[in-house]
Amino acid sequence: MPLIFITGGVRSGKSHFAERTAIQHYQAQLGPTKRLIYLASGIALDREMAKRIDRHQADRQAQPVQWLTVEAPYDMAEVLATLQDGDVVLWDCVTTWLTNAFYEGFDSGTPCIDQPGCLENKLLNIKQAILSLLNKDVTFLVVSNELFDEPPYDSDEVELYRRTLGQWHQWFVAIAQEAYEMNYGIVKRWK
């Protein structure tokens, strides 16, 4: 399984680059079972996020290929287990999913971040699911936001989020065949 990791600042062009790259891999593949899958982690909790989701959906609908969109704001490991040989999969994005993971359960009064071992278990499950893809013929593109140019925050929770995301980025790059960073619409290949 080729894993391609793409990071960059907000609105840097990384999603567009990832979509183009996924389409190229999809069109280059042979075989009747191939699918082009968009794993969407976003939840429209506010007006800005709803606009971003609508814009991403419109962008995909305007493309010359048919995407299968799978909404996966929480149970990403379960979704990854359903992937089949020949699939080309774009997950957009890690930072949104991680935020969802931190606060899953908030509505019932106990977010995951406040439950001992909850976040660690979620991360372990998803890493195991990704590693299991190494034995399948799946092209897996992962998009994430770069949040490390900001000064440290006074919030322990925000710093835990950034530390967790940074460790996860390192893990992704370590197992990726390709790693890219987007800045101002310019692509830099690191690996």
Residue ranges covered by each domain of the chain: 3-189
Q: What are 155's two structure tokens?
A: 């919030």
pLDDT band at 127 (very low <50, low <70, confident <90, very high): very high
Cβ 140 vs Cβ 6: under 8 Å: no
**CA distances to 32, 124, 150, 178 from 2, in Å:** 19, 20, 31, 8
The confidence score (pLDDT) of residue 28 equals 86
Question: Is the pLDDT confidence value at 4 over 70?
Answer: yes
Question: Is the pLDDT confidence value at 63 over 60?
Answer: yes
Q: Which residue has the higher pLDDT, 79 or 66?
A: 79
Place of tokens 């991403």: 56
For residues 59-63, average pLDDT:
64
pLDDT band at 66 (very low <50, low <70, confident <90, very high): confident
Question: Is the pLDDT confidence value at 152 over 90?
Answer: no
The confidence score (pLDDT) of residue 42 equals 73
The confidence score (pLDDT) of residue 36 equals 94
Question: Is the pLDDT confidence value at 174 over 90?
Answer: yes
Cα pseudo-dihedral 30, 35, 40, 44, rounded to 10: 130
- Is 171 in a helix, a strand, or coil? helix
CATH topology of domain 3-189: Rossmann fold (3.40.50)
E strands, the chain, are: 3-8, 36-40, 68-71, 88-92, 139-145, 178-183, 186-189
For residues 87-107, average pLDDT:
92
pLDDT band at 65 (very low <50, low <70, confident <90, very high): confident
d(CA 49, CA 3): 27
Nearest to 92 by CA among 148, 18, 177: 18
The confidence score (pLDDT) of residue 82 equals 94
DSSP letter (8 states) at residue 136: S
Q: How many residues in the chain?
A: 191
The confidence score (pLDDT) of residue 30 equals 66
The confidence score (pLDDT) of residue 120 equals 95
The confidence score (pLDDT) of residue 46 equals 65
Place of tokens 């996924």: 22
The confidence score (pLDDT) of residue 43 equals 74
d(CA 87, CA 139): 6
Strand order in the sheet with 186-189: 68-71, 36-40, 88-92, 139-145, 3-8, 178-183, 186-189
Radius of gyration (Cα) for the chain, nearest Å? Answer: 16
Q: Which residues are catalytic?
A: 56
